[in-house]
Structure 1
Amino acid sequence: MLPTLKPVTDIKRHAVEIIDQLREDRIPVLITERGREAAVLLDVGTYRGMLKRMELLEAIAEGEQDFRAGRFSTHEEVVDRMAKRWA
């Protein structure tokens, strides 16, 4: 989905209408200033979804680093720890 391009002056003049449209179609708005990309406007749901995905990707990357550094437990070790903890 390609973002909608809007000059910053349109945002200033029509903010309420642009936000209403953003809520309806959830298509990001790329705000331009003097013809150059300046910012992106997202609906809250899309923004929160992106944050969740970023957190998940960061956790996966951290797990991969731990694995490469040898910081991991075998399945049997985890089962033993859980059994001791919850017994």
Structure 2
Amino acid sequence: MVFAVLLGGVISATIYNWLTEFDSFTSYAFLPVEVSEVIDAKLKSYALANLLPATVLVLAAATSGGGGGRSSRPLPRSPRSRPTPSR
């Protein structure tokens, strides 16, 4: 579970860096858009771009069969719970 959360964080940060890599508001100055519209579009793009990795992580977790990190094998018995041999 911790690995999935860390992987999701790394993927999310990478997507954010891709969206803002060469970002400067001066490059939008000649366009007929407001700065708030650019920020709004970037936030929407970021949310939309994160849907795919989030979906992949959820599907991977659902199909892994890990059961929340618990093993599907039965736990070994403690020495006290073993039956005593008959004499």
User: Normalising by the residue count of structure 1, what TM-score does the alignment of the two structures yield?
Assistant: 0.31
Of Structure 1 and Structure 2, the greater strand share is in 1
Higher relative contact order (CA 8 A, sep 6+): 2
Which entry has the higher C-alpha Rg, 1 or 2? 2
